[in-house]
Structure 1
Amino acid sequence: MRAPQLRAPADLGAPAGTRTVRTTSGDGVPLVGVHVPAGPAGTRGLGFVVAHGFTGSSARPDVRRVLAALAVHGDVVALDFRGHGSSGGTASVGDTEVADVAAAVELARGLGCTHVVTVGFSMGASLVVRQAGGAPGSGGAAARPDAVVSVSGPARWWCRDTPAMRRVSWLCEQPLGRVVARGLGVRLGAAWDRVPSSPVEVVHRIAPRPLLVVHGARDHYFTLEHPRALVAAAGPGAELWVEDGMDHAESATTDELAGRIASWGARTATPAVVPS
């Protein structure tokens, strides 16, 4: 991975202090995103790597709002996944983006974060689980997160048990759907030539690192079967928060919930990470 390049973002909607970052994944895809430095009351050495959902990017207002809420507590790094936003490449929707999560963790380490918590939303949730679980592309020791948070994530592939997921399947699998996906800001790559390990198959490998699974009771993409399956497969160290009234991913994550997630991440930190 090449050294990151930092500059002030042109987008005036970014949280205060936000800088644009550019790096390259381990498999050679150019990635663009943002670094939001910790606020004055943040914890020195604590970093959050945010993995956005399908069709998202670090420039989306809902994502930016979550970044700002987390940055109250620590540094935040968010890269656009391949095929999304300003990054290069094409999207695989849950497979090769594992290398993008690894690159973001390495970038956070390079920016001085000694305790890195990966926080994924929807598709990004499947990716932080798979990356911490050692799926291909997960990187070496510098890419290893210290704790993992899955928000609104799936446990398995090929979900068509909700109308929303049937629409996502149409976007990904049908020729016209792929054209529509490009209109939504996603450049889809070729269909999988192999079925990658699903989150529920690798989640047990995250232990003994802490794992938090957060899911909305009103999620219209993934039913509560998904978080319960993840926590059951992860083992006794995993924690489940079912949020009453919450729907799906970044748009449903309130500042209050983001703050609780950040506080959970801070509690997982080693003694080397101390308040500023």
Structure 2
Amino acid sequence: MSITPAGHVARSIERPHSETIRHTPMRTFLATDDGVTIDSVYDPPAAVYDVSPPPAVDLVFVIAHGFTGDVDKPHVRRVVRAFTRYGAVVSFSFRGHGASGGRSTVGDKEVLDLAAAVRWARELGHARVATVGFSMGGSVVLRHAALYRPDDGSGASVRAGRADAHTDAVVSVSAPARWYYRGTAPMRKLHWLVTRPEGRLVGRYGLRTRINNRDWDPVPLSPVEAVPRIAPTPLLVVHGDRDGYFPLDHPRMLAAAAGDHGELWVEGGMGHAEHAASDDLLTRIGSWSVGRSG
């Protein structure tokens, strides 16, 4: 195991030239801007000939999983396999999850994890990036897109070190619109898990998720506040009408905040996040991303 000059901890694999798109899988640890190591995986596009539009070699999907997920969980790997039919895929474990370092801040500092993954995807030679997030990850992709902007000619994004970590299209699935929501039984259980010492023990030893014991300070930009700042980057909001965590007022608030630059898909019969995303839905998201990220 070695640390590359770019701050990556690589597992006996030489990093390719930044202008060369990699065609073999790779696993590495990335260093975030605040020094947390993030377990990350690169999967090249699959050799398929039966999808429309066909796979885009220059496109990479960066997948942001839900709370208590990680890069090795079967439901995350299923999403990865689905999107390799349309481009390369970078997946990673958020801080405090799986083999990544640090502790989960449940959507706050995780923006730094996603930025590190997007930056790595571009270093691997991909010109187009589509971020796709689920549940907690869905809120993270919204905030990331608002905070990490492409260079608009002013140089502000370049000076802040954020231009190389921007996305070209955003897909948010099963995300909350606002913080501290406790209106459903699953969310009340999640708040117990996050805020109570005994809940954090369950998270650590039962769910392989290490949770920070400090309150947010300051409270981060909420998803619905972030959405207007994403334009003109294309945005797709996806939500199930049987989501047990967040009712339909959440995606509708996000869609209203997006205005004309966003799309809303309400999926009939769908529950929550990756587990509920059908193969057909993932196919449609893949196709949408190919068409909107150019």
Tell me how far apart the structure 1 counterparts of residues 76 and 40 of structure 2 sit (CA, whole Å). Answer: 12
- What is the CA-CA distance between 1:139 and the residue it aligns to? 5.3
Larger radius of gyration: 2
- What is the CA-CA distance between 1:7 and the residue it aligns to? 6.0
Q: Which residue of 1 aligns with 2:293?
A: 269
Segments of 4+ moved more than 6 angstroms: none
Matched-pair contact (CA < 8 Å) for 1:23–1:30: yes
Matched-pair contact (CA < 8 Å) for 2:65–2:76: yes
Q: Which residue of 2 aligns with 1:240?
A: 264
Which secondary structure state, in structure 2, belongs to the residue aligned with residue 116 of structure 1? strand
Change (3 A) 1:252 1:7: farther
Which secondary structure state, in structure 2, belongs to the residue aligned with residue 236 of structure 1? helix
- What is the CA-CA distance between 1:18 and the residue it aligns to? 4.0
Q: Which residue of 2 aligns with 1:32?
A: 39
- Larger mean CA deviation between 187-196 and 122-131 belongs to 187-196
Tell me how far apart the structure 2 counterparts of residues 23 and 169 of structure 1 sit (CA, whole Å). Answer: 29
- TM-score by length of structure 1 reads 0.91
2:234 is matched with which residue: 205, 210, 217?
210
Q: Which residue of 2 aligns with 1:169?
A: 191
Unaligned runs of 5+ in 2: 1-5, 14-23, 49-54, 149-159
* Residue identity opposite 1:219 in structure 2: D
Tell me how far apart the structure 1 counterparts of residues 11 and 92 of structure 2 sit (CA, whole Å). Answer: 13
Q: Which residue of 2 aligns with 1:112?
A: 125
1:253 is matched with which residue: 271, 274, 277?
277
Tell me how far apart the structure 2 counterparts of residues 111 and 256 of structure 1 sit (CA, whole Å). Answer: 29
Tell me how far apart the structure 2 counterparts of residues 116 and 187 of structure 1 sit (CA, whole Å). Answer: 29
Q: Which residue of 2 aligns with 1:220?
A: 244
Which secondary structure state, in structure 2, belongs to the residue aligned with residue 49 of structure 1? strand
RMSD: 1.7
Q: Which residue of 2 aligns with 1:21?
A: 28
Q: Which residue of 2 aligns with 1:74?
A: 87
Q: Which residue of 1 aligns with 2:211?
A: 188
1:51 is matched with which residue: 37, 44, 64?
64
- What is the CA-CA distance between 1:3 and the residue it aligns to? 4.0
Tell me how far apart the structure 1 counterparts of residues 288 and 242 of structure 2 sit (CA, whole Å). Answer: 23
- What is the CA-CA distance between 1:110 and the residue it aligns to? 1.1
Change (3 A) 1:206 1:6: farther
Change (3 A) 1:220 1:7: farther
- What is the CA-CA distance between 1:5 and the residue it aligns to? 2.4
Which secondary structure state, in structure 2, belongs to the residue aligned with residue 95 of structure 1? coil
1:98 is matched with which residue: 108, 111, 122?
111
Identity over the aligned pairs, expressed in percent?
A: 52
Unaligned runs of 5+ in 1: 9-16, 271-276
